[in-house]
A and B are shown apart, each in its own frame.
Chain A
Amino acid sequence: MLTLTSPVETWAHRLPAGPKLAAVAGVTTGLFLLSSPWTLAGPALAALALYLSGGWVFARAGLRLLWPLWPFVLVVGLWHLWTADPVGGAVVLLRMFSAVALANFVTMTTRLSDMLAVMERLASPLSPVLPPRRLALAFALVIRSIPVMVERMDQIRQSWSARAPRRPRWRVLVPAVLAALDDADRVADALRARGGSG
C-alpha cells in the first residue's frame, strides 16, 4: 500500500518526526490568532517556499494533495463575493491553505514507521490499559488486512456479476462484513495459539 510520504528525499525527511509535528501544531494554532490577510500571506508564502525547497517534482505532488480543497475554495469565494467581504474571504482561504499545506508538508516528509512510532510514544501513558505492543500489533493488523479485504471485495463483486445481470449494490456488503467477522475470529485464534497479544 502506498503512503503519502514523498519518494523525493528532501532535507525535511532527515528531521525527527516529533519536533516536526510539534512545530506544525504550534504554527496552526498561531494561524487562528492572525486575522489580517497581509500577515496571513506570510505563512502561505512560507508554505510555498517549503514545497519549492524540495524541488519541482516534490512541489507539484504537494499541490496535488491540496486539490481536494477546491470545493471549499469555490464556496467560500462565492460566499464572500456575494456578501461583498473579499477581505474576510481572503483571510479564511489563506488560513485554510497555510494550515493544510504545512500539515501536508510534515506528512510528505515523514515516513509511516516514524509517524507510528510517535503515536506509540504518545500513547505510552495509557500503557496500563493499552500495552504498546498491542497498539503496534493493531496497526500492523489493519495495514495487513486492507489489501486482503480489497481483494475479497473484488471476488464477491465478480461472483455477483457471474450470477446476476444487475449491478451489485449494497447486498455485496453483507458477505464482506461476515468475512471480516470470520477473519477476526480466526486471527484471534491464531494469536492465542502463538502466545496472545501481549
Chain B
Amino acid sequence: MERNLTHIALFAALIAVLGLIPKIDLASGVPITAQSMGIMLCGAVLGARRGALAVLLFLALVAAGLPLLSGGRGGIGVFAGPSVGFLVGFPVAAFVTGWFMERTTLSPMVAATAASVIGGIGVLYVFGIIGMSMVLDKTLGEAAFLSAAFLPGDAIKAVIAGLVTQSLSRMRPASLLSRA
C-alpha cells in the first residue's frame, strides 16, 4: 500500500522535473521538452493503473496553482486554453501505454517504444486534437494539421522512452513494475 503511494507520488514529481529540464538537452538540436516523455515513462515503468494515477496527481497539483507544466505554466487557466485536450489525454495516454506494456512479451525497448507511440502519441493526439478544435473552433482536420508540428519531437521522445526503459530493465529487471 505504502509502496504504491510512494511510487505514484515520486513519478508525479518526475513528470514535473522533466518539464524543468532545458529543452535542448535531450537530443542534438531538436527543441523538445521532456514532459510528455514523463507521461510515457509513467506508463512504461509503473504500468497502467499506477502510471495513470501518477499523472492525475501531477495534474491536480498543476491545477492547484503550481507552475509545473513545461515553460512554467500552471493553474486552472491551462485547462481553459487550447492545450486542454492534451492535458485531459495525459492520464489516458499513460494508462494505454502501461496497458500495452503489461500485455506484450516483446523486448523492453520495442515494447516501450511501441506502447509510447500508441498511448503517448496516438491516444494523446486524439484528445489533444478534439480539445484544440473545440477551443479554437476549428474542424478536426484543421486542428490535426496544427498539432502535427509536435509530431517529430514526440516520435523522438517515444524512442528515448524505449531506450530508458531498456536500460532500466538491463540494470535492474525488477524495476519495471509494469512487467512485474
Verify B77–A1 contact, CB threshold 8 A.
no
- Judge if A167 is at the interface, Cβ distance under 8 Å: yes
CB <8 Å contact, B79 and A103 = yes
Dominant SS among interface residues on chain A: helix
Nearest B residue to A96, CB-CB = B135
Q: Considering the chains assembled together, what is the distance between the CA atoms of A5 and B74 in angstroms?
A: 11
Write the nearest CB–CB distance from B135 to chain A, whole angstroms.
6
Are A185 and B20 neighbours in the complex by a CB distance under 8 Å?
no
Contact with B along A67-79 (1 / 0, CB 8 A): 0110010011001
In the assembly, what is the distance between CA of A95 and CA of B9, in Å? 35
Given contacts A1-B66, A177-B45, A178-B175, contact A103 B11 (CB under 8 A): no
Contacts of A119 in B (CB 8 A): 60, 63-64
Which residues 61-119 in B have Cβ within 8 Å of A in the complex? 61, 63-68, 71, 73-82
Contact residues of B: prevailing secondary structure: helix
Q: Is the CB of B14 within 8 A of A4?
A: no
**Known contacts A115-B64, A170-B27, A180-B11; is A134 also within 8 Å of B76 by CB?**
no
Is A176 a contact partner of B14 (Cβ separation < 8 A)?
A: yes
The number of chain B residues with a CB under 8 A from chain A is: 60
Whether the Cβ atoms of B76 and A139 lie closer than 8 Å is no
Q: Which of A176-198 contact B (CB under 8 A)?
A: 176-178, 180-181, 183-185, 187-189, 191-192, 196-197
16 contacts between A and B (CB under 8 A): A3-B67, A5-B65, A65-B77, A68-B73, A96-B135, A101-B77, A141-B6, A142-B13, A142-B16, A142-B57, A145-B9, A150-B17, A170-B27, A177-B45, A187-B10, A188-B5
Interface residues of B (CB under 8 A from A): 1-3, 5-14, 16-18, 20-21, 25-28, 34, 41, 45, 57-58, 60-61, 63-68, 71, 73-82, 135-138, 142, 146, 160, 163-164, 167-168, 171-172, 175
Q: Which 9 A-B pairs have the closest CB atoms?
A: A107-B75, A104-B77, A141-B9, A145-B13, A99-B80, A103-B77, A115-B64, A188-B2, A184-B6
